[in-house]
Amino acid sequence: MTTSHYIAGRWVDGQGSDCISVNDPALGQPFAELMAASAEQVDQAVAAARAALPAWKCTSASERAAYLRGFAEQLGQRREALVALQMRNNGKPRHEAEVDLDDAIATFGYYAELAEQLPGQNRDVPLAAPGFTARTRLEPVGVVGLIVPWNFPLVTSAWKLAPALAAGCTVVLKPSEVTPLCELAYGQIADTLGLPAGVLNIVNGKAETGAALSNHNGLDKLSFTGSNNVGSQVMRSAAAQCRPVTLELGGKSAILVFDDCDVDAAVQWIVAGICWNAGQMCSATSRLLVQNGIADALLPRLQAALENLRVGSPLSEEADMGPLTSQAQWLKVAGYFATAREEGLQCLVGGKVLDRGGWFVSPTLYADVPEDSRLWNEEIFGPVLCARRFASEQQAIAEANDSRFGLVATVCTTDLARAERVADALEVGHVWINSVQAVFVETSWGGTKGSGIGRELGPWGLSGYQSVKHVTQCLG
């Protein structure tokens, strides 16, 4: 795994000083190594993207759409290898890895269609003032740096890469050092399709590589998905260059269960919201707000469901939930278990790491968690659920909104008028009603408050990579 960087249409060895160890989290052992890119190689990648931009942005929308469909088709042809890699490097059960791949394929297909529907470069703008004409142009924003996280490789990169290419931008993609291998498939596909050299560049590395990219003065835009701590650094880099930035950051999201909800359905939605991808989701609904009248029936069934969840290696057993993806995340979650014990929280199930040889933890439920608990307020990024009871709709809304984050929420009730009313009152970017967290490429993704800036997916994802130009002419 030495040729781990794709720059200017060529595979090159890493010339940085860091050696990246790629681990199997079910075993807690490395299975591959690669050398990080140097700062000079980041320079080369940005220069290649800059050189490729003039020709790429002048390609027709239909040409770009054809390339995007090629990416979708090629991902499908690599299905088994990519699913197996997700299972091995992320610890995802097979059904989760397959959903991820299907999501990436759908994203490229959607933006291919959207590219073909783009209006012509020029559109007349009617003016009230006589003696002038005006037209508007949608142009690619330019060279963009894409920095993606480790919890959903292939997916998050597709959410950025597909609309950027559709808009006519050229890109430098920096995958997470925890899961650096999956995104290399995009370089292989670019080779197969004959994508012009420099349109897509991939550089792997740790924080130093990410900093070299986000600080680079050759970029026109940054798009970052990850933690708030790193996101604030990326935002400072963007501010220093006075350039646009899209940030998809953390969450501490609520699932609100009202008295009239079907208990078994609610348990299904709650478990999916906290245990999918072992809870390693910015959208994890880790705060359970349950109305008083249903709490005594729901909490024991939820406890039983979490106890019965099959936790294990996706490569050797039928697993509902796999391990945490990295040792660092495993230690972080273990630290929150210790904090819960210090705070005296009531643990109904879990609250411990599992002695399985890898980075496994138990699905966990704490009851009657106080509002000032660290576990109620901080993003844990693991299968750790905190529950509180509420009396009224107004109380539930207030407690759900009492957070520095505002990414998602779920509302569970048979009263659809109330569901819509509560959804409108929640200060988040996406609300599900009586559903698991189904994410569709046609909808938007992003949050309010500390959960980020901008939107991905849907037409909003494309517009994030477009610049608007107006041309006004005096006829006199």
* pTM assigned to the model: 0.96
Helix (H) or strand (E) run with residue 347 in it: strand 346-349
The pLDDT of residue 149 is: 97
Question: What residues form DSSP beta bridges with 433?
Answer: 411
The tokens describing 452, both together, are: 């980020």
pLDDT at 123: 84
Tokens at residue 105, please?
């394929």
- pLDDT of 316 reads 80
**What domains are defined for the chain?**
5-249+451-474 (3.40.605.10), 254-440 (3.40.309.10)
Burial of 413-432, coded b for 16+ CB within 10 Å and e otherwise, reads: beeeeebeebbebbbbbbbb
Residue 117 confidence (pLDDT): 86
166-195 per-position pLDDT tens digit: 999 999 999 999 999 999 999 999 999 999
Strand order in the sheet with 384-390: 346-349, 364-367, 384-390, 287-291, 254-257, 408-412, 430-433
| Closest by CA position to 208, among listed 49, 379, 14, 13 | 14
Residue indicated by tokens 């942005």: 57
d(CA 270, CA 444): 22
Asked whether the beta carbons of 143 and 46 are under 8 A apart, the reply is yes
Tell me how far CA of residue 214 lies from CA of 23, 286, 293, 379, in angstroms. Answer: 26, 31, 50, 24
Residue 2 confidence (pLDDT)? 53
| Alpha-carbon 315 to chain mean position | 24
Identify whether the C-beta of residue 94 lies closer than 8 Å to the C-beta of residue 234.
no
Q: Indicate which residues carry an active-site annotation.
A: 248, 282
For residue 186, which of 204, 206, 209, 205 has the smallest C-alpha distance?
204
User: Alpha-carbon distance 395 to 24, whole Å?
Assistant: 44
pLDDT of residue 318: 86
Residues of the chain with pLDDT under 70: 1-3, 119-121
